[in-house]
Amino acid sequence: ERVLAKYHLFITDAPAGVVRHAVKAVTSARPSSRYCSIFPGSSPGKRHRRAGSAKGQSLTATAMSAILLPVADEPAWQVAELAREALQPGFADVLVYHTGHLGRDPVTLATLDFMKDLFAAVGWSSPQLSLCVLLPRLGWTPEKLASRSDLRGMAVHAAAPARQLGLALLTQLQSLGAVGLGVEPLFLEVGSQEAAAPIGSPSGICAPGSGAQARIHGQPGTALDRELSFKKVAVGGTFDRLHAGHRLLLAATAAVASAEIFVGITADRLLVNKQGREWLEAYEVRSGAAVGYMEATHPGVRVTAGPLLDPKEPPLATTDPSFEAIVVSEETIHGAEAINAGRAERGFAPLVVVVVGLVRGQHSSSGKLSSTDLRLDR
């Protein structure tokens, strides 16, 4: 703290992930601290460069700042690498702004597949990296972006044409009043797909289509370009220590909802036997994080939350006929099936069950990214 209160600190050899965690902890304690510049590996400045000042002038950032990362048609593995590089110390969130056809067109299974591949690639080495996918289709116009008070920087892929598109967006946002973005962006470079794959990751984890992809349960052969839009959508979980798997589930829910979302959050009293119970976040924290994330992804929907108090009692999606869909992971399909069975008994139409793939974890005993493992590894 004493060092960061007075100086800019330049670290050249420490592993980037270690440094990011360390500096984020310090800047959380001192939100007014400027962040330090990191040059991973043995070639300072090679992985990412700032345009302009040879002195490496820092963007103004605090622990609550967000950095904008516009992308167009880059593959998910490349966006994941750009996102990891974009999260400089002092920034809390990376906002991936998809300006390509996937971001503008109706939400489909292909949209959810991109999200799955992105969060899978990020989650292996940076499971709790705070990343949010913003789609113009969901209301994120340049005007809406410019109104965000937390934007304090922009990162741009240095390769053409992404460089030109990023600079054009920066100019547009500044003309709309986004003065906090700074004068120049942070230019990022990425190598090959093989080089971008995290060390020790399973073969193909960054490849499109790796692992189970999004699908509609019970409707095999659903076209990838079928529009997914439902007025009222349900989702549920514990959502302790939001990680890439949680963010995939919540982002998919926000993407397919057109009007309203209800998220059921496991109540504290049902978690007394969880491993690492003493480090579990309280219901209010978990609920706020889940609701806030979906509101940030799709600002046009109304998101409400409620506690899941008794596993023997039917959840709201069973007893409310106005729900149209539920979003689940591969391991919770049985819960959706039980809900639809309860709806059938009441004479309600079945929910469309949207299934997203699981995100694998590097140190997971179960093979998937797990809050329990993150608590025990704290």
* Domain CATH number, residue 127: 3.40.50
Q: Are residues 163 and 283 in the same domain?
A: no
Asked if 77 and 197 count as a contact pair (C-beta separation under 8 A), the reply is yes
Q: Are residues 285 and 238 in the same domain?
A: yes
Residue 21 falls inside a structural domain: no
**Model confidence over 262-314: pLDDT tens digits?**
999 999 998 887 766 777 889 999 999 999 999 999 999 999 999 999 989 99
Distance in angstroms (rounded) separating the CA atoms of residues 121 and 124: 6
Q: Which residue has the tokens 């984890």?
A: 205
More confident residue, 157 or 375: 157
For residue 297, the domain's CATH number is: 3.40.50.620
Residue 146 falls inside a structural domain: yes
Given a cut of 50, whether residue 12 has pLDDT beyond it is no
**pLDDT the model gives residue 52:** 31
Distance in angstroms (rounded) separating the CA atoms of residues 295 and 144: 13
The contacts of residue 160 (CB under 8 Å, 6+ apart) are none
Of 124, 156, 189, the last residue of a domain is 189
Residue 57 falls inside a structural domain: no
Length of the chain: 378
Q: Are residues 221 and 161 in the same domain?
A: no
Q: Are residues 116 and 219 in the same domain?
A: no
What DSSP designation does 191 have? -
Q: Are residues 140 and 276 in the same domain?
A: no
Q: Are residues 246 and 310 in the same domain?
A: yes
**Model confidence over 361-377: pLDDT tens digits?**
776 556 677 766 665 56
The two structure tokens encoding residue 286? 């978990």
Given a cut of 90, whether residue 91 has pLDDT beyond it is no
Residue 46 falls inside a structural domain: no
* Number of neighbouring beta carbons within 10 Å of residue 140: 24
Following CA atoms 327, 330, 331, 337 in sequence, which dihedral angle do they give, to the nearest 10 degrees? 60
Q: Are residues 263 and 170 in the same domain?
A: no
Q: Are residues 170 and 228 in the same domain?
A: no
**pLDDT the model gives residue 275:** 67
**pLDDT the model gives residue 309:** 94
Asked if 185 and 156 count as a contact pair (C-beta separation under 8 A), the reply is yes
Written in H, E and C, the secondary structure of 132-158 is EEECHHHCCCHHHHHCCCCEEEEEEEC
Counting residues of the chain whose pLDDT is more than 70, the rounded percentage is: 73
Short-list 52, 14, 19, 18, CA closest to 35: 19
Distance in angstroms (rounded) separating the CA atoms of residues 301 and 295: 7
Distance in angstroms (rounded) separating the CA atoms of residues 349 and 363: 41
* Number of neighbouring beta carbons within 10 Å of residue 8: 14
**Model confidence over 220-242: pLDDT tens digits?**
888 889 999 999 999 999 999 89
Residue 53 falls inside a structural domain: no
Residue 158 falls inside a structural domain: yes
Q: Which domain holds residue 289?
A: 211-377
Q: Are residues 234 and 338 in the same domain?
A: yes
Residue 148 falls inside a structural domain: yes
Mean pLDDT of 324-345: 96
Instruction: Give the 3-state secondary structure of residue 166.
Output: helix
**pLDDT the model gives residue 190:** 85
Give strand ranges (E) for the chain: 48-50, 65-71, 91-98, 131-134, 151-157, 186-188, 215-216, 230-237, 257-266, 302-308, 325-329, 352-356
Q: Which amino acid type is present at position 237?
A: G
The total number of structural domains that make up the chain: 2
Q: Are residues 344 and 261 in the same domain?
A: yes
Residue 371 falls inside a structural domain: yes
Q: Are residues 329 and 216 in the same domain?
A: yes
Q: Are residues 182 and 223 in the same domain?
A: no
The contacts of residue 21 (CB under 8 Å, 6+ apart) are none
Report long-range pairs for 360-368 (Cβ below 8 Å, ≥24 apart): 360/120, 360/123, 360/124, 360/202, 360/205, 360/211, 361/123, 361/124, 361/127, 361/245, 362/124, 362/125, 362/127, 362/198, 362/200, 362/201, 368/245, 368/331
